[in-house]
Every structure is written in C-alpha cells, then in structure tokens.
C-alpha cells in the first residue's frame, strides 16, 4: 500500500481509503440493517491489506454505517483513522454542530474521530448570502 502525508497533520494515510457508503445491507420487516458480519470481514480485510483510512457519514446505509464501522474497527481503533461528516443542511443553529458530533461519536463507539468533514455546505441554512 502506498501512503501519503495528509496536509500538515503528520498523518500518513493510505492512498486507497475505504468508503463505507455501500456496506452490505439487508431489509427485514421494512427496516434496513447492515450485515455486520460481512461488513466487518470487508473492513478488516482492507485493514490487513494496508488501508488505514475509513470514511463514513450519519446517513450512509440507511443511517447504519457509523455504527457498523465502529463495531468492525473497535479492536483496531488505535491503528486506523476514521472520517465522518456533519450534515450541515440539518444544522439549524450552531448548537446542532455539537449534537451531531456527539451522535456520531456514540454511533462509532469511540471517544474521537480523526477527520470531520462538512457535508453539503452549499445549501446550509447557516451560510450567509453574499
């Protein structure tokens, strides 16, 4: 695996990251679930082959991706970097930013995330008209 420096962070990120938007899912009684066994196998296989950057978001996989990623990477959390996003369009006040962060941390079952991306800035109600 090739690794690249991530800006001035000092972090070395795998050139190939793992996007967790399309983890294996199944539907039961009208509700969607991530197939945790398959997802864990996939994510750990990627890690074993050098991937150290995993990207998720609150609404990926019918809002189940963060939880599945957290479970899959729990045993190697200190060896990987997790990225998630804040859906800025859903933030109606600045207090919502903390709420979304805390929710993502809980779903990922981790005390920290490595990278936090602002998602869909163009339509945010908090953006000022120029």
Q: Give the residue numbers marked as catalytic.
A: 60
User: pLDDT tens-digit profile of 82-107?
Assistant: 999 998 888 788 788 889 999 999 99
| Strands, E assignment, the chain | 3-5, 12-14, 18-19, 25-28, 31-34, 53-55, 81-87, 115-119
- % of the chain at pLDDT higher than 90: 74
pLDDT, position 73 = 98
pLDDT, position 130 = 45
The domains found in the chain, sorted by start residue, are 3-123 (3.20.20.100)
What's the pTM value of the predicted model, to 2 decimals? 0.88
Answer yes or no: is pLDDT of 77 > 90. Answer: yes
- % of the chain at pLDDT higher than 70: 92
Distance (Å, whole) CA 59 – CA 46: 22
Average pLDDT (32-39) is 98
**13 compared with 94, residue with greater pLDDT:** 13
Answer yes or no: is pLDDT of 128 > 60. Answer: no
| Strands, E assignment, 2-130 | 3-5, 12-14, 18-19, 25-28, 31-34, 53-55, 81-87, 115-119
Distance (Å, whole) CA 35 – CA 32: 10
């Amino acid at each position: 695996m090739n690794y690249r420096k991530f800006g001035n962070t000092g972090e070395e990120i795998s050139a190939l990251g793992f996007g967790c938007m399309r983890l294996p899912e199944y539907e039961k009684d009208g509700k969607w679930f991530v197939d945790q066994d398959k997802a864990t196998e996939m994510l750990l296989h990627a890690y074993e082959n050098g991937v150290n950057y995993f990207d998720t978001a609150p609404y990926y996989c019918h809002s189940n991706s963060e939880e599945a990623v957290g479970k899959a990477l729990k045993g190697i959390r200190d060896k990987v970097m997790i990225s998630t996003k804040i859906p800025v369009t859903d933030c109606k006040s600045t207090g919502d930013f903390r709420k979304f962060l805390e929710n993502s941390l809980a779903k990922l079952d981790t005390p920290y995330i490595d990278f936090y991306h602002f998602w869909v800035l163009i339509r945010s109600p908090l953006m000022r008209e120029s």
